[in-house]
Amino acid sequence: MSSETSTPYTPASTSTTVPGNETVSLMEEIKKYKTEALIEYLQKEEDLGLDDDDFEIICKQKVNGRTFFKITKEELRSAGLGLGPATALVDFAKECKDKKLRSFSSYLSLSEVLAEYGYDSDGIDSILLFSPLTYEIKEDNEILKRCMEEILGRLCSYGTLQLDSLEAMRNEYVVALLHASIYIVMDLTDKELSMRPQYGIVGEESRGWVDYAIKTLSVITKDKQHKVLIGIAQNIKQLKSTCKTNKRKRKRGADDFNYLYGIVTTGQNWHFLLYSPRKISKASDTAYSIKFTKKALDPNSEKYQSLCKSVRKVLGIIVGLLKDKACAEEEPERKRVRIEGYQLKK
């Protein structure tokens, strides 16, 4: 996207809390959109065949999500739209009324989600492995030093982080690593990156809020305490929805080799996923762990050294994945080579 309202973001974590198979119509979601958000959404619907002139008319007439479903073809024609665009918009509005979307938080079974990708399993053991691109972060890296200062400050205030610690407390550590990763990637690539909390995603079959969305990059999902498998299931659905909504600028034929990275974390334990259409891979059979313990406040202790080492390891992976996406070329052939190279057999 070229602006805050048009740049593709990859979602970053489920925070909806409604259980069960909650569904709403696509119309109810679109009704919430202001004019700019509505135009952004319609731009992603390539089949509508709308051009910049059509969107300029919608903007000038201040059509928002709520009025979109009340406007008639005749009114659109009188506003300056051609017969084709006016008909397409009215028909699309009717389709949205009947289309149901399921919330990300309603996916509570990993086996249900994995079945879509040919896995007959309720765990991650059967998922193929990929080798994550990792960037080596030196001990004297200034951004790493600031990250460690933030972490130690949190440890001083909160004490040891436990699996049953409050979600808000765990967020503090997750955000420290994410921001540090973004700053390092910006230094390495000279590209502008940003992160949005509580970012809404509306896909073709699912919708909801994600904890953190990193501009043009990977999806991060923070699971609820130790429910890692549920977090992975919901993260896969977020990645799928994001992949669909980010296809507007892709060339035809590129979708099969598009890919996104996902992160499922409790703050302590970090899982990394690779998503491409019809394929799911994981970086490791076990989580990458960081032990945020108050004993690490002593800079001369083994706990401090262990904390530094594990933070550098996780940061290196996140930086490697973000750097890869930030610099990825858009040619389908290059993406094909990357995806086929990543799919490793166990």
pLDDT in tens, the chain (346 residues): 333 333 345 444 433 333 444 778 889 889 999 999 999 889 888 789 999 999 999 999 999 999 999 999 999 999 999 999 999 999 999 999 888 889 898 999 999 999 999 899 889 998 999 999 899 999 999 999 999 999 999 999 999 998 788 888 999 999 999 999 999 999 999 888 889 888 878 888 888 888 888 865 566 766 655 588 999 999 999 999 888 766 544 444 445 567 889 999 989 999 999 998 878 999 999 999 999 999 999 999 999 999 999 999 999 999 999 998 887 755 555 566 666 665 544 4
Structural element, H or E, at residue 129: strand 128-129
Distance CA 171, CA 214 (A): 15
Spell out the domains of the chain, with CATH numbers in brackets: 24-103 (1.10.150.50), 108-342 (no CATH)
Cα-trace Rg, the chain: 22
pLDDT of residue 343: 52
| Helices H / strands E in the chain, number of each | 12, 11
Backbone torsions φ then ψ of 257, nearest 5 degrees: -115, 15
Contacts of residue 300, defined as CB under 8 A and 6 or more positions apart, other chains included, come to none
pLDDT of residue 94: 93
pTM value is 0.80
Residue 195: CB atoms within 10 A of its CB come to 18
DSSP letter, residue 257? G
Backbone torsions φ then ψ of 262, nearest 5 degrees: -125, 150
CA-closest candidate to residue 318, choices 242, 191, 190, 219: 219
Contacts of residue 331, defined as CB under 8 A and 6 or more positions apart, other chains included, come to none
Residue 311: CB atoms within 10 A of its CB come to 21
**Torsion of the alpha carbons at 13, 183, 139 and 147, rounded to the nearest 10:** -60
- Give the residue carrying structure tokens 């390891």: 313
